[in-house]
Chain A
Amino acid sequence: MTAAVIAARIRAAARPGRGVLAVAVLAVWALLAVVLAGHDTLALDPFDLAWLHRRLNEVNDEVGNARAGDSTVIHLLDAVRAAVDALVRTMQALIARPAGGRPVPVLGWLGVVALATYAAGALGNLRVAALTAAGLLFIGMQGLWTAAMDTLALTLSAVLLALLVGLPIGVAAGVSDRVLRVLTPILDVAQTMPTFVYLAPLTLVFLIGPASAAITTLIYAAPPVVRLTAHGIRSVPVTSVEASRSLGATRWQQLRGVQLPMSRHTIVLGVSQTIMAALSMATITALIDAPGLGKLVLASLEIQDVGAAFNQGLAIVVLAVVLDRVATAAAARTERPGRPSPRRARLRLAGLAGGAVLAVWLVQLSRTYLWAARFPTTTTVGGHDVSWTLGGAVADGAGGTVAWLSNHAAWATGALKDTVSAVLVDPLQALLAGSPWWVTLVALVTLAALAAGPRAAMVALVCLGLLLGTGLWADAMTTLASTVVATAAVMVVGVGLGVWLGRSGTADQLVRPLLDAGQTMPAFVYLVPFVALFQPGRFTAIVAAAVYAVPVTVKIIADGIRGVPSETVEAARSYGSDSWQIITKVQLPMARAAVTLALNQGLIYVLSMVVVGGLVGAGALGYDVVAGFSQGFLYGKGLAAGAAIVLLGVLLDRVTQIAAGRAAGRGALRPSSPSGLDARLRPALNSRPRPAGLQRRPVPTGSTRR
C-alpha cells in the first residue's frame, strides 16, 4: 500500500464520522434543553394572538368587505360559482334529488346500479362489475341510498372538474420543466394546507352551497391527477419519444401518438387517486351544508352514536373501494399486451352489446316503477311490513363492540398511553419545544446538514425561519414532536406489516380491504372510540394519525418487497439463509427506495391528521386550526397555523427527499421524481412491471433506425 493511501486512511479515521457528530449534537442539545428549560420558548396561550395573526384578521375583513362590492373579479367569481352550481345540481338531479317535477331523480336506484355495473364491466372486467353491483346494493341495504347518491353526485362533479382542470395542467407539467417547477409548491400547499383554514373564506367568495363544496373538494382532489399525469408523461422512455421524433413527428404528434398513450396507465391511476381524495372530503364539506353521508356522520357524532356513524362511514368506505378497484382494473386493462384473439373480441363485443341492452332496460324500469326508483327498505310479507335494512344491524354491532372495548380494555390502553407519552413524547417535546428557540433552530439545522448535506441545511433554515415568522414556534415544535413519534410508530408497523404482506399473497388479499378502510373511513368515526379508550391527549392523536398513515406505508413497502426479483430470494435461500436473514439482508435492503418513499409518505399522511389530532386533545397547531375555524377573532391564528403545518410538511419532505437522494446515489435505485409529495401515488405503479417502450409491439424489420 502506498504512503498516500495509508495517510488518507489515518486522516479518515481521525475525522469523526457523521453518526458520531450527530450523537454529539443531540447530547449538547439535551443538555441545553435541561439547563435552559422554559426560557425563550415563544409559547403563546390558546386564545392569544401575535402581530401576524391580527394582520391576517384585517386582511380577511378586507376580503369580506370586497365581496360585497361590484367589480369584474366578483362577476367572474359569480360566473364560476353559477357554472359549478349548475354542474352539481345536474348531477344531483340525475341520481340523488327529485327532478323534473317527479318525486324521484332521473335515474332510480336500479338504473344507477345497472349503469354503474355496466360501466365497471366495460372499463374493467367482470369481477369488478360484480363488485360494483354488490357494493351499491349493500349501500342500499344499509338504508343509505339517497345520502350515498348525494355524496356520489358531489364527488363525481368535483372529480369531473378536477379532470377538466388537472389533466391539461398535468400534461403541461409533464412536457415543460418550468411549469413543473412552478406547479410543485402550489400542489404541495393544496395538499397539505388544512381545509379548515380556507373553508370559511371559500364560502364567503363562492357562497354557501354546492359550488363551495365542489370547489373545496376540487382543491384537495386535483393535485393527484396533475402529479400522476406529469409523472406518467415523464416516465415514457426517452427512446420511444426519440424514435417518434426521428420518424418526423411534431411535438403535438409526439404527445398524442406516443406520450399520452404510453402514460395511459399512470393517468388512469391518477384519476383513481383523485376519486379517493374527493371522497375523503365528504365529512369536511358537510360542515358547509353539503348533503350526503358526511352530514349523517356529523349528526351521529353530535349525539355520540358510534354505531350509526360507523354504518355511515362504512358506506363511504364501500364507495371508495368500489371506485378504486374499478379504476385499478381499468388501468390493468390498458396494460394488457398484444391483441385479443378474434373470438374473444367478438365475445366481448356481444357481451357489451347485450349488457347495454340490459342496462337500458333496467334504467327504463327505474324510470317507470316506484320500487325501482326508491331503494326499498321494507317488503310486505303476508300482510306485515318487514324491514330488511342491514344498517341497524351494522350500527348495533359496531356500537356494541365499541362499548365492550371501552369497558374492558381501558386499563390496558390507559397504561399504554401513559407509558408512550412519558417515555417517547414528553422527552422529545421537552427537547424541541421546551428548549430556547435558538437552541432548537441551530440543532435542527445542524442535524439536517449532517444527515443530508448543505442544501438540506439551507432548506431547514428557511423553513424554520418562516416558522418563527408565523408566531407559532412553540406549537409547531410540539406538533413536530408528536409527528416524529407518530411517524416512527407508523414505520415500525409499516415495515412489519409490509414485509408480511409482500411475502404472502393470501395475507395481502385478506388485509388489503382493512387497509383501504383505514384510509377512507372518515376519521370522525373512529375518534369516539379512540377518545373513550385513550382519553383526550397527544397519544390519541398519534394513534389516529397512525391508523390513517399505516395503510399507505404498508402498501408501498409490500410493493417494494414484491419488486425484489424472486431469483435473488431463491439464490439466498439456496445458500441456506433462513427467513429472517432473507428479510433483513436481501429483501429490505433491495427495497430501500420503497422504504424511503414509505417514510416520506408516512410523514405527509401523519401531518395531514394534525387537525384531527387537535379535536382529540393534542392541542398545538391542530387546535389552533380548529379554533380559527370556530372563532372569528382567531381566524388569522388558524391561517398561520395552517401555514405552519405546510412549512413542517415542506421541511420534512424536502430534507428526507434530499437524504434519500444522497443515499440512493450511493448505490440503490434513483427515484425519478423531483418531489416526494407526488410519489404518494407511486405505490400502485411499483406493482406493475413497466414494459420497455419499444418491445411492446413487434418492431417490423426495416425500421429499427434509432
Chain B
Amino acid sequence: MMQRTQRKRRRATAGLAVVAALALAGCGGATVESASTSNSPTAVASGSGSATASASKAACGTVNLAVNPWVGYQADAAVFAQVARTRLGCTIVTKDLKEQVSWQGFGTGEVDLILENWGHEDLAKKFITEQKVAVDLGETGNKGIIGWYVPPWLAKEHPEVLDWTKLNANAQKFKTSESAGKGQLLDGDPSYVTNDAALVKNLKLDYTVVQGGSETSLIQSFRQAEAHKTWLLAYFYEPQWFFNELKLVRVNLPAHTPGCDTDPAKVACDYPPYNLNKVARAAFVTSGSPAAALAKAFRWTNEDQNDVSRSIAVDKLSPEDAAKKWIEAHSSTVDAWLAAG
C-alpha cells in the first residue's frame, strides 16, 4: 500500500516537473504584448495620421453605414468607406442590414447613410416626408435597368422572343410545372416591387408570374437555362455582377412613356431606367460632417460599379481590396468627389 502511494506520488511530481519545464522553456515566438505595443500607436491614429491631407476640414467622427445585401451595394460601400477612412479620417462602422431595417435605423439614430436605394416609396414617405428623420441625398449616378430577360442562347437562336408581340406564340415553350399550363415569367426577390402581374394581364400575355423569391432562383435558373438550352423568361436588372458571366438579353416591351406607370394596375409599358439615389439621416447631414459632404458628392457610372462588382463576385477579392484597386485606377474621380464636398 505504502509502495503504491509512494509510486503515485513520484509519478505526480515527475509529471509536474515536466509541465514546469515545458512552461519555463517557453515555446518562444512573438508575444501578444509586443504586438499590442507595435499596433497601438498607429491603431488610434489611423484617423489622425491621414488628417494632415485634409487638415482644413472638420473632424469626421463615426459614420454608421448600412450595407444592403447585394454585391452592387457592397461595391458602393467599399469604395465610399475606403475614401472616407483614408482621405477624411472617418471611422466607418458598416452594418449588414436589409433595407427596411436600415431605414428604421434612421429613426433610432443607428444608421447614418444608405448608399443605393431602389424604390421603396413607402419607406421614403414614412421616414422622409412624415417623420422627417431622413433626407434624399440625390442620385448615385447608377441607372437601374429593370426588365424581362432571356438567356443568350435563346436570343441568338430565336431572336423573335425579344419582341413581346411574339411571346404568346411561344408561351408553351416557356411552360414549367409551376406555371399552371401557361408560360412562366420568373420573378425574384420581393425587395423590389415589380409591375409584372399587371403587365402580363394588361398586355394579354398567356403567362403566369412565378415568384422565385430570391436572386438565387433567378441566377441559378439562368445558368441552367444557358447550360441545358432551355427556354427561360425572367425578370432581372442591371447593374448586376451576373452580367459578367452571362450577357442576358432584354426583351422589348412597349416603350415607356411618361405617366404610363402611374397607376400600377394599368401598367402596360416597359420599366424606365431607374435613377438610384442615396438617403441619409437628417441630423447626420446637418452636422456638417465631411463624410456627409462626400456622400452627397459620391457619383459614378454603371461601368464603375460593375468593375468593382466583378472584382468581388468573379475575382473573389475582398470588398476592401476591390475598392482599393478601383480607387487607384480612378483617382481623379475620387479627387473630384472630395473637392466638391
A residues with CB within 8 A of B:
45-47, 61, 64, 67-68, 101-104, 108, 199-200, 203-204, 207-209, 286-289, 295, 298, 301-305, 350, 354, 357-358, 361, 364-365, 367-373, 406-407, 410-411, 417-418, 421-422, 426, 527-528, 531-532, 535-539, 614-619, 622-623, 626-627, 629-635
Contacts and interface: CB of A to CB of B under 8 A. Distances in A.
7 contacts: A103-B35, A103-B39, A370-B32, A531-B217, A614-B211, A627-B190, A630-B98
A104 B27 contact: no
A528 B16 CA distance: 54
A46 B219 CA distance: 21
B178 A617 contact: yes
B192 to A, nearest CB: 9
Interface residues of B, number: 70
Contact of B101 (A46, A288, A302, A421): A288
Given A357-B19, A630-B189, A61 B126 contact: yes
Given A369-B30, A535-B176, A617-B210, A626 B105 contact: no
Contacts of B107: 64, 67-68
B193 interface: yes
B176 A373 contact: no
B78 to A, nearest CB: 12
Interface of B, helix, strand, loop or mixed by DSSP: helix
A302 B32 contact: no
A681 to B, nearest CB: 31
A535 B30 contact: no
Given A368-B31, A370-B31, A298 B96 contact: yes
A373 B32 contact: yes
Contact of A626 (B23, B186, B213): B213
Given A304-B219, A630-B189, A631-B100, A537 B176 contact: yes
Contact of B23 (A101, A108, A361, A367): A361
- Output the residue of B30, B176, B215, B219 with the most chain A CB within 10 A: B176
Nearest to A308: B316
Interface in B199-222: 209-217, 219-221
A630 B100 contact: yes
Interface of B: 8, 12, 15-16, 19, 22-23, 27-36, 39-40, 69-71, 74, 95-101, 103-105, 107-108, 110-111, 120, 122-123, 126, 176-178, 186, 189-191, 193, 197, 209-217, 219-221, 223-224, 227-228, 241, 312-313, 316
A640 to B, nearest CB: 15
Contacts of A64: 104, 107
Nearest to A64: B107
A288 B32 contact: no
A616 B190 contact: no
A204 B40 CA distance: 36
Contact of B100 (A289, A361, A632): A632
Nearest to A426: B177
Given A64-B107, A365-B27, A531-B221, A536 B101 contact: no
B214 to A, nearest CB: 4
Contacts of B178: 421, 536-538, 617
Given A101-B40, A410-B224, A421-B178, A616 B29 contact: no
A120 B6 CA distance: 31
Nearest to A295: B96
A441 B23 CA distance: 75
B122 A633 contact: yes
B213 A200 contact: no
A46 B190 contact: yes
A532 B223 contact: yes
Nearest to A354: B15
Nearest to A638: B190
A618 B99 contact: no
Contacts of B228: 410-411
- Closest 9 interchain pairs by CB? A627-B190, A421-B177, A536-B217, A303-B313, A531-B220, A633-B122, A536-B212, A370-B30, A537-B178
A682 to B, nearest CB: 34
Contacts of B103: 632
Contacts of A289: 95-97
Nearest to B43: A103
A682 B104 CA distance: 41
B312 A527 contact: no
Given A103-B35, A208-B95, A369-B31, A617 B100 contact: no
Nearest to B194: A47
Given A303-B313, A538-B178, A298 B69 contact: yes
A47 B193 contact: yes
A44 B243 CA distance: 34
A102 B32 CA distance: 7
Nearest to B187: A46
A536 B27 contact: no
A623 B178 CA distance: 15
Contacts of A406: 223-224, 227
Contact of A618 (B8, B213, B220): B213
A369 B29 contact: yes
Contacts of A200: 100-101, 104
B35 A370 contact: yes
Given A370-B31, A531-B217, A616-B213, A350 B12 contact: yes
A417 B221 CA distance: 14
Nearest to B110: A208
B202 to A, nearest CB: 14
Nearest to B121: A633
B176 A67 contact: no
A314 to B, nearest CB: 19
A287 B97 contact: yes
A286 B209 CA distance: 30
B211 A617 contact: yes
Given A103-B32, A627-B190, A303 B241 contact: yes
